[in-house]
Structure 1
Amino acid sequence: MKMIVTGLRKIESWVVTVAIIANVSGAFVLLALVAIMNVDVVSRNIFNAPFRGVVEVVIFSLALIVFLQLPDVVRTGRLTRSDGFLGLVRSRSPRLGGVLARILDGIACIFMCLIVWTVWPEFTESFESCHFFSQPDFGPAPTGNIWADFKTGLARCDYFGTPGILQAPWWPVRLVIAFGCAWAAILFFFKTALGDSQGPHHVTAQSSGEV
């Protein structure tokens, strides 16, 4: 049993490392978004030339930021939830509180898996719409030149945005959503199996200053 726990702890350390890297990546996306919005403000007010597609960039970036940082939020126990009852149980019976916390983490793991199960087919469908490696119904066949085929395929992808202003393929966003929820599910699994090593640090309305 001890060997199993030790092995799970080692795997958990790798999972945590990936979660931290994803969190840092989300922070860089946030910095890029702030820079783009500042450029839009300056160009709009000084040069009367607003940045075209800023709304689409914000929508795209927010999805990336949220789901890239979701696993690390789960790791650190900062996922917002109402845990007043759990906190009361922990204060009176730490052992029972720990059991209830593991049950809640197990339920959260199941829900994250359901999200992945829902989003993954949408990702594969939007990715396959690009026909990077297969003959499309219309248009030229792949040439074998990876970069050229990639650029050609991007023009065929299922996209969001406004034609003529800014368009972006859907599949990167759906891939990030699937990744973030899958990694969050893995972290919830480790919390369920090994307990929450971070302790009860969940954000509540009282601790966060929310009303």
Structure 2
Amino acid sequence: MALLGRVAQVCHVISAFWVVVLALIIFVDVGGRNLFNVPLLGAVEIIKNSVVSITFLQLPLAIYRGGMIRTTLIYDAVSPYLQRYIRSFANILGLLFFLGMAYSSWGPSLEAWSIGEYEGEGALRVPTYPVRLLVTLTSGFTGFVYFYLLYLDWTGQLLPEMEQNDQPEQSSNV
């Protein structure tokens, strides 16, 4: 696996641990509400920001492994030559979309960082600038993943498991 795949894997592992922490926060919040009538302060703000972060951390690996949802009705009906063009078109759209997101969110991310943007009032104020920066950086990285897949495809290095990750495995049991 290339360095790019390893970085995507690290992002995915971080998001998995974040999900566990988020589950614990939800458990403590719900338990505190129901058992002691004392909710965990800031839980709602932490959860809102965490969902966005977890989603963007998982995107690069899902795209790198070919795990995004797609309709193959037309794709399966055309020749391998045209399949390459369809994959290329999809990769170019993904590249442009995520680089556009990174570009358009860069300024607001820097501004949020410089002013120390936060969400919430009272006892716990949750900083939102790390989430904004994370969305910006992972959008740029995801765009680069699309570019890398485009490069692999046109140089004949795209591995079948990267292209067709959604195929069911054949069972040898009859």
**Common fold: TM-score over 0.5:** yes
**2:85 counterpart letter in structure 1:** V
Amino acid at match of 2:165: H
Aligned residue for 2:171?
A: none
Uncovered stretches (5+) of structure 2, i.e. residues with no partner = 168-174
Counterpart AA for 1:175: L
Q: Relative to structure 1, is the Cα distance of residues 174 and 84 closer, same or farther in structure 2, using a 3 angstrom cutoff?
A: farther
Identity across the alignment (%): 27
Q: Which has the larger radius of gyration?
A: 1
Q: Structure 2 length normalisation: TM-score?
A: 0.85
The 1-side partners of 2:77 and 2:136 are apart by 34
Higher RCO, Cα 8 Å, sep 6+: 1
SS of residue in 1 equivalent to 2:163? coil
The answer to whether structure 1 residue 187 and structure 2 residue 140 are counterparts is: no
User: Does the Cα contact within 8 Å between 1:83 and 1:202 map onto a contact in 2?
Assistant: no
Report runs of 4+ in structure 1 exceeding 4 Å deviation: none
CA RMSD of aligned residues (A): 1.8
Q: 1:102 to 1:178 in 2, by over 3 A?
A: same
CA distance in 2 between partners of 1:74 and 1:113 (Å)? 15
**What is the DSSP-based 3-state SS (H/G/I as helix, E as strand, rest coil) of the residue aligned with 1:21?**
helix
How far apart are 1:202 and its partner, in Å? 5.8
Which ranges in structure 1 are unaligned for 5 or more consecutive residues?
1-11, 130-156, 204-211
Structure-1 residue corresponding to 2:99: 113
Count residues with an aligned counterpart: 161
- Equivalents in 1 of 2:65, 2:108: separation in Å? 29
Matched with 1:158 is 117
**How far apart are residue 170 of structure 1 and its match?**
2.1
Partners in 1 of 2:36 and 2:118 — Cα distance?
30
**In 2, distance between residues paired with 1:35 and 1:126?**
28
State the match for 1:23 in structure 2.
12
Q: Which residue number corresponds to residue 73 of structure 1?
A: 62
Distance 1:167 1:80, change over 3 A: farther
- Is this contact kept in 2: 1:33–1:58, CA < 8 A? yes
- Give the TM-score normalised by the residue count of structure 1: 0.71
